Amino acid sequence: MSETLYPSRGKVAIQRENTGGQKTTEHGIIYNEKQKDIFFRGKVLSVGHPKVLPNGNVLPHEFKEGDTVVYNMRGVNEFRGIDIVDFEHVIGVVSESE
């Protein structure tokens, strides 16, 4: 039986990618030695329902299933090799240029 993970409200499921020649730790964490920022890059597997803020506004997101995104490590929880991340920890969408 195959399983599908649907993240809860305000969360996104991401499959972390190998980062190739960039500086990474043995666990695939992208880092910048000068700034000491740690980022991951991965493919969006599924997106939860939008997060509703306390004032009633909906927190929008700019990514969809299949997009490649960069996200910081602060919001990462892992479940069976899939990263579950809060929307606000996704830094941006990677655009592939020809």
Expressed in angstroms, the distance from the first to the final Cα of the chain is 39
**Cβ within 8 Å of residue 62, ≥6 positions away:** 92, 93
What's the pTM value of the predicted model, to 2 decimals?
A: 0.76
Question: pLDDT truncated to tens, each residue of the chain (98 aa)?
Answer: 567 778 899 999 999 986 544 555 556 665 555 555 678 899 999 999 998 989 999 988 889 999 999 998 877 898 888 999 999 899 999 987 65
Domains and CATH numbers, the chain: 11-94 (2.30.33.40)
Cβ neighbours around 20 below 10 Å, total: 7
Question: Alpha-carbon Rg of the chain, whole angstroms?
Answer: 14
